[in-house]
Structure 1
Amino acid sequence: MSESMHIIVKGRVQGVGFRAATQRQAVKLNLTGFVRNLANGDVEIVARGPDAALQQLLAWCHQGPRLAHVSHIGVGRCDNDEAFADFTIR
């Protein structure tokens, strides 16, 4: 069964390759959805797929790519009805 997860990542997460690394990780986990920078410096992720894969993505987000420094992660389930064909950078 497919679940959806909404993640907000705070810290030094823009300008360090966080979106591209998130996309690679999500594709490896066969997730769909998107990642994007927010105006306040955070990164937003909406991902859809099996719960186990979503939990793996969430665990990865706590570290992120090498140059990132994650200070806080907000996470929740979302009722996003948007159909995603793949995982994209917005």
Structure 2
Amino acid sequence: MNIRNSLYNDGNDYPQWMIQKGKNVKPGPNPDPTPEPEPGPEPGPEPEPTDPIETLDISETVDGNNMTITPTGDTSTLDHYNVNVYGEG
């Protein structure tokens, strides 16, 4: 008995290309196809749009090397505000 037959023990002489790195690759029907994935949950409602960025007027106070920037507009409706400073100095 040759090596190819001893791999399968079924008496058939399979071609060398069907013996791959010690795995038993036998001719036969294809395995069951991969089942379709389950559909996901329905999409939720659209998120509410965020408020546009509001620009505030500011006042500047310079004391030596320190600058204090204070909004002069109405900030009572804001949770927080960010100050971006551009320029040389």
TM-score (norm 2): 0.21
Structure of greater relative contact order (alpha carbons < 8 Å, 6+ residues apart): 1
Which structure carries more helix by proportion?
A: 1
Higher strand share: 1
